[in-house]
Amino acid sequence: MKYDNILKIVDHTLLAQTSTWDEIKALCDDGMKYKTASVCIPPYFVKQAKDYVVDELPICTVIGFPNGYMTTSTKVFETKDAVHNGADEIDMVINIGMLKDKKYDEILVEINQIKEACNGKLLKVIIETCLLTDEEIIKMCEIVTKSNAEYIKTSTGFSTSGATFDAVKLMRNHVGKDVKVKAAGGIKTLEDAEKFIELGADRLGTSRVVKIVKSL
């Protein structure tokens, strides 16, 4: 697979707590140079990054990150603020405790309220697969399929593990045909990236793919 075909579906990511503007700026420079799908950055930097890239590169940010257990109204506020600051894409974390309690209708309501707050921007739903059983992953595929979100996403990269081949395969087999899959967290090699794409990932959240291509 050509590098360009991988890079164009990469959300070039930097979400470390220690991130500085110089690092975010460098991320944006690489995103523009290598024509990645977006850069995924902390909410604090969204406005500065959007002013910097203008319309050359989509800006993605995270909501309810990384634990997802904020109230829905808090997540909605975060989303509105991010969109106001220029975010083009939103990656939200579900309330995992809500899922464990089988409050499926409440999860659907939360996703759709956040989608409404996106004001037409793309929404990806992070389900943190490493904390879920296969049955819970399948249930989240059903819920996201019923929702207004465009993507289901494996991981934050801040929990016990990131994307796995088995989880992406399971998600692809159970999510609706109109819902896309994003694999994120722990994608370390171009071979990993290619395998996730083969299994049905439409987006990859990673900081390493661009670095590998640069080194080549």
Q: Which of 121, 124, 139, 153 is catalytic?
A: 153
Q: Which of 91, 121, 139, 192 is catalytic?
A: 91
Q: Which of 30, 115, 182, 192 is catalytic?
A: 182
Other residues' Cβ atoms within 10 Å of the Cβ of residue 41 = 26
Residue 182 a catalytic site member: yes
Sequence-ordered list of residues with C-beta below 8 angstroms from that of 119, at least 6 positions apart, any chain: 80, 83
Residue with structure tokens 């991320």? 27
Residue 153 a catalytic site member: yes
Q: Which residues are catalytic?
A: 91, 153, 182
